[in-house]
């Protein structure tokens, strides 16, 4: 609507409706037109739109605007830090409709000349466009796994004589995926080709396919799909070969032989048998990167990787007190229903006004409700936390006496993200040194495939966490997965504890814990190194001890 210049009042009415709809727990698909009109903040016009979607699974107004929008402009709408009004200006004034043409225009200084732009904005725009091009057709792990599982189920259903598995980066649980790879063992390849030709959601790339590999495109996401073919007796060998990274496959084993050579000798009946032939313990698929897994294997110190079932509580979550979709009680009740022993609520702090951050008087209101809920929820415990903003100078945005009222503090950066490495690193280290900081939240601020991380000296930040006893978060939201697993490994070497946190803004967000565990497992994370694998009583003592230490230093 902004792109096509709709009036501001109409746009505001949509935003207002969205704000209210995100907070309702009613299932919109089950409501009549009259019931939709009764929802606070939803007028007759918005109710009609929802009703149209309910009845037709589509929206004519949206489809009309979409048909007038070039695909390249839709891609440009994803540029980090640039809203529809700026994209509209570029489109109309410079007749630019692709990211490639946008970069060319930036290099010719045409964008800087536009009203409201300038040299710095032009450079940022060019960087953002290059980032999007570089990440084209990648999927977040969550979407890749979901798509992959659908394909596995569909292909498995074609015949009893087909064996299929996810493989490649999806099986190694990489944070972003391209392509989505599957391994299929079958003697009925024709059935598989027919499936790829006929599937509505797929475009079969016959010309790019060969006798051992079939390629397709998933139309709605643009994801590339690569299907490896093998004979049934080759399945285990090929699963191993297509799963492991090149570095893992080429690693020099005893006698200077590699896995690649080992796999040529015979067909194995299990991956365990392959490692046994190499005189090594089994290495989990997500560790097969060729980085540090062989050091563990050779020294017989292979970690017992963290399982979701070992997590006892969920820290770093938001409720309707700030920008969450569900009430504190609803978040706590669902957390308990999932079998967890405790919930760490940590709504946004006062600096995050855009997220309805908590002023001091509202903190007291929340703490009063937490006390009442704790009285009636039996053995389940809600811990009082806050996601305190790290200000530009590295300080937290509450006084020490307010910070002391919480059980734990998640310290995070949300603003002034355009920093150089020295500034960002110093800002984080000062926050880490604050005695009230318990957990460092999403340390690099990245949004995978959307926004680059601000640069930090990872070793310096992790060393500071080790020095001050601060826990580092693996933010489990699929778009963050921050801290990156490559750096989590160094944190584990330095003895830093990890907290797998969903940053849940609604009840369903708790299920993202799985993706955080995937990240931790890639780094070698165990339950003993995970703070929220502690029991309720254990973490209660941990928080209390930490607070007493902070009070003695404050």
Percent of the chain surpassing pLDDT 70: 100
**What are the pLDDT digits (tens) for 268-299?**
999 999 999 999 999 999 999 999 999 999 99
pLDDT for res 43 = 87
Mean pLDDT, range 91-97, rounded to an integer? 95
- Return the half-sphere exposure (C-beta side, CA atoms, 13 A cut-off) of residue 248: 24
* pLDDT reported for residue 489: 97
Cα–Cα distance measured from residue 336 to residue 443, given in angstroms and rounded to the nearest whole number: 28
Instruction: Say what the pLDDT of residue 443 is.
Output: 97
Mean pLDDT, rounded, for 415-433 = 96
Over the chain, what is the mean pLDDT? 95
Residue 41 confidence class, pLDDT cut points 50, 70, 90: confident
Three-state DSSP class for residue 130: helix
Give CA–CA dist 461/484, Å, rounded: 13
Over the stretch 373-410, which tens digit does the pLDDT of each residue have?
Answer: 999 999 999 999 999 999 999 999 999 999 999 999 99
Distance CA(138)–CA(219), nearest Å, equals: 13
**What is the pLDDT confidence band of residue 437, given thresholds at 50, 70 and 90?**
very high
Average pLDDT, integer, range 545-549:
96
Q: 225: alpha, beta or left, given left = phi > 0 and alpha = psi -120 to 50?
A: beta
Strands 223-230 and 180-185, how do they pair?
Answer: parallel
Q: Determine the pLDDT at residue 458.
A: 98
- CB 322, CB 495: distance < 8 Å: no
pLDDT the model gives residue 429 = 98
* Separation between Cα atoms, residue 191 and residue 186, nearest integer Å: 10
Q: d(Cα 350, Cα 96) in Å, to the nearest integer?
A: 41
Minimum mean pLDDT among 220-224, 347-351, 465-469: which range? 220-224
Three-state DSSP class for 451? strand
- How many other CB atoms are there within 10 angstroms of residue 330's CB atom? 16
Read off the pLDDT of residues 111-158 as tens digits, 9 standing for 90 and up. 999 999 999 999 999 999 999 999 999 999 999 999 999 999 999 999
Q: Please write the tens of the pLDDT for every residue from 237-252.
A: 999 999 999 999 999 9
Mean pLDDT of 314-320: 96
Residue 162 has pLDDT above 90, yes or no: yes
Does 25 score more than 80 pLDDT?
no
C-alpha–C-alpha distance, residues 334 and 509, integer Å = 11
What distance in Å separates the CA atoms of residue 216 and residue 201, rounded to the nearest whole number?
A: 10
Given this model, what pLDDT does residue 255 score? 82
Burial of 300 (0-12, 13-18, 19+ CB in 10 A): exposed
Sketch out the chain's domains with CATH numbers: 8-134 (1.10.150.20), 313-553 (3.20.20.140)
Q: Are strands 163-167 and 176-177 parallel, antiparallel or unpaired?
A: unpaired
Average pLDDT over residues 463-471: 98
DSSP string, 330-371: HHHHHHHHTT-SEEEEEEEBTT-GGGTPBPHHHHHHHHHHHH
Specify the DSSP element, H or E, that contains 183: strand 180-185
Whole-number percent of the chain with pLDDT over 90: 92
CA–CA gap between residue 111 and residue 457 (Å, rounded)? 33
Sheet order of strands, 498-501 included:
313-317, 342-348, 381-389, 408-412, 439-440, 471-475, 498-501
List, for residues 203-226, the tens digit of each pLDDT value: 999 999 999 999 999 998 999 999
- Statement: residue 492 has pLDDT above 90: yes
Model confidence band, residue 81 (pLDDT cutoffs 50, 70, 90): confident
Cα–Cα distance, 548 to 554 (Å, whole number): 10
Rounded Cα distance between 377 and 317, Å, is 18
In this prediction, residue 24 has a pLDDT band, given cuts at 50, 70 and 90, of: confident
- Helix axes 99-107 and 119-134, enclosed angle (nearest 10): 150
Alpha-carbon distance of 319 to 338, in angstroms, equals: 17
């Amino acid at each position: 609507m902004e792109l096509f210049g709709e009036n501001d009042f109409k746009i505001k009415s949509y935003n207002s409706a969205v704000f209210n709809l995100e907070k309702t727990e009613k299932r919109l698909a089950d409501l009549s037109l009259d019931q939709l009109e009764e929802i606070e903040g939803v007028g007759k016009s918005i109710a009609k739109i929802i009703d149209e979607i309910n009845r037709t699974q589509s929206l004519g107004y949206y489809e009309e605007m979409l048909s007038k929008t070039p695909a390249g402009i839709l891609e440009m709408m994803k540029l980090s830090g640039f809203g529809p009004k700026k994209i509209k200006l570029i489109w109309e004034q410079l007749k630019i409709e692709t990211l490639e043409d946008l970069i060319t225009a930036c290099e010719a200084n045409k964008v800087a000349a536009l009203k409201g732009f300038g040299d710095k904005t032009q450079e940022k725009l060019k960087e953002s466009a290059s980032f999007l091009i570089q990440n084209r057709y990648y999927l977040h792990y969550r979407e890749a796994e979901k798509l992959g599982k659908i394909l596995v189920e569909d292909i498995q259903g074609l015949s009893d004589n087909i064996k299929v598995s996810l493989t490649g980066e999806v099986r190694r649980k990489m944070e972003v995926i391209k392509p989505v790879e599957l391994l299929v063992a079958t003697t009925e390849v024709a059935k598989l080709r027919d499936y790829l030709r006929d599937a509505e959601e797929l475009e079969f790339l016959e010309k790019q396919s060969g006798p051992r590999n079939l390629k397709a495109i998933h139309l709605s996401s643009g994801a590339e799909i690569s299907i490896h073919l093998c004979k049934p007796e080759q399945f285990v060998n090929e699963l191993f070969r297509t799963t492991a990274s090149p570095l893992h496959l080429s690693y020099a084993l005893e006698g200077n032989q590699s896995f690649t050579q080992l796999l040529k000798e015979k067909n194995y009946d299990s991956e365990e048998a392959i490692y046994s032939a190499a005189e090594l313990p089994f290495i989990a698929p997500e560790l097969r990167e060729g980085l540090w897994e062989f050091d563990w294997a050779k020294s017989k110190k292979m970690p017992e990787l963290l399982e979701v079932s070992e997590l006892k509580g969920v820290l770093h979550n938001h409720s309707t007190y700030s920008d969450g979709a569900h009430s504190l009680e609803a978040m706590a009740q669902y957390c308990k229903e999932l079998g967890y022993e405790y919930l760490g609520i940590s709504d946004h702090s006062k600096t995050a006004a855009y997220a309805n951050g908590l002023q001091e008087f509202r903190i007291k209101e929340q703490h009063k409700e937490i006390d009442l809920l704790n009285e009636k929820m039996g053995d389940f415990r809600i811990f009082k936390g806050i996601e305190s903003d790290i200000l530009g100078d590295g300080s937290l945005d509450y006084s020490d006496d307010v910070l002391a009222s919480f059980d734990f503090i998640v310290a995070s950066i949300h603003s002034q993200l355009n920093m150089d490495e020295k500034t960002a690193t110093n800002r984080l280290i000062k926050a880490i040194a604050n005695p009230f900081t318990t957990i460092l939240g999403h340390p690099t601020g990245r949004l995978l495939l959307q926004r680059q991380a601000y640069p930090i000296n990872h070793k310096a930040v992790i060393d500071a966490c080790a020095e001050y006893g601060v826990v580092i978060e693996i933010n489990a939201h699929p778009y963050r997965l921050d801290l990156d697993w490559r750096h989590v490994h160094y944190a584990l070497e330095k003895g830093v504890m990890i907290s797998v946190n969903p940053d849940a803004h609604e009840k369903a967000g708790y299920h993202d814990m799985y993706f955080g565990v995937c990240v931790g497992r890639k780094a070698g994370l165990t339950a003993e190194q995970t703070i929220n694998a502690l029991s309720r009583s254990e973490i209660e003592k941990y928080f209390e001890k930490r607070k007493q230490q902070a009070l003695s230093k404050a």
